[in-house]
Structure 1
Amino acid sequence: MLDQNKIGLVERITAPTPKIFTIIRNIGVILAAVSAAVLAVEQQGIQLPEIVSLLSEKAAWISGLIAAIVAQLTVDFKALNSKNALTSVGNIPQKKTS
C-alpha cells in the first residue's frame, strides 16, 4: 500500500488525480492559455484595456501555472491502490530458490 511518503515524483505525476483537483488543474491551464493569448494579441500591436494587460502579464499566468502544477501533484491514493491491486492480480510472485 502506497502512502504520501513512499511515492516518487514521476509516480505522483502519473497517478490518478482527485476530481476536484482535476477541475482546478483544468482551470489553471485555461487561465495560463488565456493569458498567453492576450500577450500574443498585444504583441501584434492591438491595444487592450490596461486592466486586461496587467492581469494577463502577472496574475493570470502565474496563478494558472501554480494551480495546474499543485493540482497535478495531488494523488488519489484510493484509486492508485486499487489500480495497483488490479495490475498485480495476474502476477504470481516467484519463490526464491536458495
Structure 2
Amino acid sequence: MKKSIKDLGIVQRMKSPTPKFFRVLRNIGLALAAASGAVLAAPIALPAALVTAATYVAVAGGVLTAVSQATVDEEEFNLDQAVKNL
C-alpha cells in the first residue's frame, strides 16, 4: 500500500524529509527564537517596546520553525517509501 503525503499525521510529517528551502527557514526561525529568548532573559531592565518586540519575534520564530519543519519533500518522501517497500 503506497502512502501519500496527504495521509501523513503530524508526527509523521515532522519526521519526514524537509526541502532545503524550508530547512533554511527553520534555522532562521530557531535563531530568531533564540535571540529573542536571550533578550527576554536579560538580567537588566529593558524598555517595554524592546521586550514587546522580542516577544513577537519569539512567537514568529516559533511559528516559522514549526511550519517549516512540517513541510515534506515529496521526492525524498517517495524515495523513502520505495526503499521501505523493497
Instruction: Give the TM-score, by structure 1 length.
Output: 0.75
Gaps of 5+ in 1: 90-98
Count of matched residue positions in the alignment of Structure 1 and Structure 2: 85
Please tell me whether the aligned partners of residues 3 and 81 of structure 2 are also in contact (alpha carbons under 8 angstroms): no
Please tell me whether the aligned partners of residues 3 and 77 of structure 1 are also in contact (alpha carbons under 8 angstroms): no
Q: Specify the alignment match of 2:16 in structure 1.
A: 15
Please tell me whether the aligned partners of residues 36 and 58 of structure 2 are also in contact (alpha carbons under 8 angstroms): yes
Q: Aligned match of 1:69 in 59, 66, 70?
A: 66
Q: Specify the alignment match of 1:96 in structure 2.
A: none
Counterpart mapping for 1:1-98 below 5 A: 1-41=2-42, 44=43, 46-57=44-55, 59-89=56-86
Q: Report % sequence identity.
A: 36
C-alpha separation between the residues in 1 aligned to 2:85 and 2:3? 14
Q: Deviations over 1:24-56 (max 9, x none)?
A: 111111111111100111xx1x23455432311
Question: Cα RMSD over matched residues?
Answer: 1.7
C-alpha separation between the residues in 2 aligned to 1:18 and 1:27? 14
Structure number, greater radius of gyration: 1
C-alpha separation between the residues in 1 aligned to 2:16 and 2:46? 40
Richer in helix (by share): 2
